[in-house]
Chain A
Amino acid sequence: MNEMQFLTWVRGPGLDIALSLFVLGVLWRLIEIYSLGRKKDLSAPRHKPGASGWHTIARRSVPPEGMFKTSPVSYVGGYVFHIGLAIIIFLFIPHIKLIESLVGVSWPGLPSQVVDLVTVVTLAAMIVLLADRIMKPTKRYLSGFQDWFTWTLTFLPVLTGWLAVQHLLLPYTTMLALHILTAELLLVFIPFTKLFHAFTVFGSRWFNGAVNGHKGVPV
């Protein structure tokens, strides 16, 4: 298989397989999770301002008092790389073209130099977060296989995409194919790992908030 065939495979059958597993996994997990249900709470709700699902969604997006000082790297790094990822994925024009060809909607993108800069910042933030995870004993203790694995899964497409655009390390064709392949691996693993939080984060926050709100506890 030469480079061009590799690229054509990841753009063709590879993409088909990856997207299929992704869609299959996402639907399966969403249905499974949201159909679990809970027993009805028969107690009377204790209303207290700020205790509700919606409040929790917003509140958990800002660090609780004192926490920012304790682990600034987690907060700043976390924000930077999440926003960076969103910009790269949804505002880089070739990505928009892909989404358009898959689902038919498109929107204006950013100049590639801007995306390039965002990518460098994102990569840096991810590396800093990894170093922090390795160096801080508590974080290291709390980390399991999935944490290292999902970090790698997320990091690789960003790195290979940037290397491809910059024409570094390998010929563009090979690097582009590797980029698409790693992105496909990421897609396949999203539904079956912690990365599924991309779909469930706000739902579960709302749920926690709602349950606690019922008891009159703002969380």
Chain B
Amino acid sequence: MTMNKNAKLLENLEWQGVSRRTFLKYCATLASLMALPPSAGRAMAEALAQAKRPSVIWLPFQECTGCTESITRSHSPSIEGMIFDMISLDYQETLMAAAGHQAEEALHKAMQDNMGKYVLIIDGSVATGLDGAYSCIAGRTNLEALREAAQGAAAIIALGSCAAYGGIPKAKPNPTGAVAVSDIIKDKPIVNIPGCPPIPVVITGVLAHYLTFGSLPELDKLGRPKAFYGETIHDRCYRRPFYDQGKFAKSFDDEGARKGWCLFELGCKGPVTYNACASVKWNGGASWPVEAGHGCLGCSEPDFWDAGGFYKALSMPADPLKMTAGAALAGAVAGVAITVANRAKKGAAKAAHETTTLADLEK
């Protein structure tokens, strides 16, 4: 027995042993996660149950496959994982069996068959240096492939910090001229799902929203769905009471660290990082980085790699001071120079001073 390619989503889920009840519950959770009204959960369930598997084309560019790992691996038996199976993933190099020319054919067929309707997922940044020659697939640059694939896309999901903001490839000195998808494509709806890697439920949430309402969810200024990136890690962090009390771990193995105190002094970027880790958590809700004892790196923010070092507290200088010693010297020199000038003036005034004699007064 094989999965029916044309079956509705719910039928396929049932085929995989997911009951209607579990599915409804999942939709309700998703809706509440996305801060949608309770009625949206039902609407979502109905829409998703009826939805034909949308065609999804996934192109990997300058990336490390961490995003794919995040989505496929951590959730295998969960509904999110299955929903993800339920989309018609027509092209994904890492997951597909086809290779070489076969793969290229699959890509072009998927694009033609679903012209104007498919969802394009990009992970990885786009190299623009040397006309994009730094990153090629099947003899074509990512830049070319992106422009072509974007033309027929209904919407684009820039998955992971590299596709969303350039990520690690864009870190100084950015040898490949890496840029974000949104730097190249200007005329299509793009939703950024940053994170290094992003949280799996965020992408299924965005897909579910798209299938239910036919539109992308509300985005913030940086193109991220507000529902998941509306609050900082620090806002929702369970260590926050320690921050407020001024109880900080000073090293990774001191008493404070063992007691679970705040990691701010160890460089936690939670206060400036908008992501859902603290509420959704990772690995099916098992834990998340700060709970595991390491500060947040700020991975869902643009240029997190160049934000002054992972282990430096946010209030500390991002770079070593370069000019201050020179400035101190210059200040001292200026002070001494003025002193010399002042003394000279005083000396001159003294020299010019004429003593008044009695005779002068009687004149």
Please give the residue numbers on chain A whose beta carbons come within 8 Å of chain B beta carbons, in ascending order: 2-5, 7-8, 11-13, 15-17, 19-21, 23-32, 35-36, 93-95, 97-98, 101-102, 109-113, 167, 171-173, 176
Contact A31 B316 (CB under 8 A): no
Contact between chains at B327 and A24 (CB < 8 Å): yes
Distance, CA A19 to CA B314, complexed state (A): 17
Interface, chain B (partner A; CB < 8 A): 222, 232, 234-235, 243-246, 248, 264-265, 271-272, 274, 298, 301-304, 306-308, 312-319, 321-324, 326-328, 330-332, 334-336, 338-339, 342-343
Which residues from chain A contact B326 at a C-beta distance below 8 Å?
A: 20
Instruction: For A191, give the chain B residue with the smallest CB separation.
Output: B331
Given A4-B303, A176-B271, A31 and B336 contact (CB-CB distance below 8 Å) = yes
Residues of the B chain whose Cβ atoms lie less than 8 Å from the Cβ of A24: 327-328, 330-331, 334
Nearest first, the 10 A-B pairs at minimum CB distance are A31-B335, A27-B331, A20-B327, A24-B331, A94-B315, A11-B318, A12-B318, A35-B339, A12-B319, A24-B327
Could you list 21 examples of A-B contacts with CB < 8 Å? A2-B302, A3-B272, A4-B307, A5-B302, A7-B272, A11-B319, A15-B317, A16-B317, A20-B321, A23-B331, A24-B327, A28-B334, A28-B335, A31-B336, A32-B339, A93-B265, A110-B246, A112-B245, A113-B244, A173-B272, A176-B271
- Chain B residues positioned under 8 Å from A101 (CB to CB): 312-313, 316-317
Residues of A within 8 A of B303 (CB): 2, 4-5, 8
The residue on B at minimum CB distance from A98 is B315
With both beta carbons as reference points, the residue of chain B lying nearest to A165 in the complex is identified as: B271
Q: Which residues of B contact A16 (CB under 8 A)?
A: 317, 319, 321-324
Q: How many angstroms from the CA of A21 to the CA of B321 in the assembled complex? A: 12
Residues in chain B near residue A12, CB distance under 8 A: 308, 317-319
Known: A4-B307, A31-B331, A35-B335. 19 other contacts (CB 8 A): A2-B222, A3-B272, A4-B301, A8-B318, A12-B308, A15-B321, A19-B324, A20-B321, A20-B324, A28-B335, A30-B335, A32-B338, A32-B339, A36-B342, A98-B316, A102-B317, A109-B246, A111-B245, A171-B274
Assess whether A19 is in contact with B321, with CB atoms less than 8 Å apart: yes
Contacts of B315 in A (CB 8 A): 94-95, 97-98
A31/B332 contact (C-beta < 8 A), A7-B307, A110-B246, A113-B244 known: yes
Q: Are B339 and A28 in contact (CB under 8 A)?
A: no
Q: How far is the CA of A19 from the CA of B321 in the complex (A)?
A: 9
Known: A23-B324, A28-B338. A4 touches B304 (CB 8 A): yes
- Name the residue among A4, A7, A13 with the largest chain B CB count within 10 angstroms: A4
Residue among A98, A111, A173 with most chain B CB within 10 A? A173
Tell me whether A8 and B335 are in contact (CB under 8 A): no
Report A-chain residues with C-beta under 8 Å of the C-beta of B321: 15-16, 19-20, 102
| Bound CA–CA A5/B308 (angstroms) | 10
CB < 8 Å neighbour of B323 from A20, A30, A102: A20
Which of A4, A31, A112, A171 has a CB less than 8 Å from the CB of B246? A112
A27 contact set on B, CB distance < 8 A: 328, 331-332, 334-335
Contacts of A111 in B (CB 8 A): 244-246
Residues of B within 8 A of A25 (CB): 331
Cα of A95 to Cα of B317 in the assembled complex, Å: 11
- Per the bound structure, the CA–CA distance linking A15 and B318 in Å amounts to 9
CA distance A112 to B246 in the complex (A): 6
Task: Give the CA-CA distance A110 to B246 in the complex, in Å.
Answer: 7
| A contact residues around B222 at 8 Å (CB) | 2
Q: A176 vs B232: C-alpha distance in the bound complex, in angstroms?
A: 13
Contact B335 A32 (CB under 8 A): yes
What distance in Å separates the Cβ of B270 from its nearest Cβ neighbour in chain A?
10
Q: Which residue of B is nearest A101, CB measured?
A: B316
CA A93 to CA B312, docked complex, whole Å: 14
Compute how far the CA of A26 lies from the CA of B334 in the bound complex, rounded to whole angstroms.
11
Bound state CA distance, A109 and B232, in angstroms? 24
Distance between Cα atoms of A2 and B302 in the complex (Å): 8
A23 to B243, CA, bound (A): 32
User: Within the complex, what minimum Cβ distance (angstroms) separates A99 from chain B?
Assistant: 10
Contacts of A97 in B (CB 8 A): 265, 313, 315-316
Q: Contact: A23 with B318, CB < 8 Å?
A: no
User: A21 CA to B246 CA in the complex, in Å?
Assistant: 32
- Give A91's nearest chain B residue, CB to CB: B246
Tell which of B306, B312, B317, B322 has the most Cβ of chain A within 10 Å. B317
- Shortest CB-to-CB span from B117 to chain A, Å, is 32
A112–B243 touching, CB < 8 Å: yes
Chain A residue numbers with a CB within 8 Å of B304 are 4
Closest-by-CB residue of B relative to A94 is B315
Q: How far is the CA of A24 from the CA of B323 in the complex (A)?
A: 10
Q: Give bound CA distance, A19 to B315, whole Å.
A: 15
Closest chain-B Cβ to A58's Cβ sits at a distance in Å of 29
CB of A184, distance to nearest CB on chain B (Å): 11
Q: CA A21 – CA B272 in complex, angstroms?
A: 28
Residue of A nearest to B232 (CB): A172
Q: In whole angstroms, what is the CA distance A8 to B317 when docked? A: 9
Q: Complex: how many Å from CA A13 to CA B184?
A: 30
Nearest neighbor of A176 in chain B, beta-carbon distance: B272
Cα(A101)–Cα(B332), bound, Å:
24
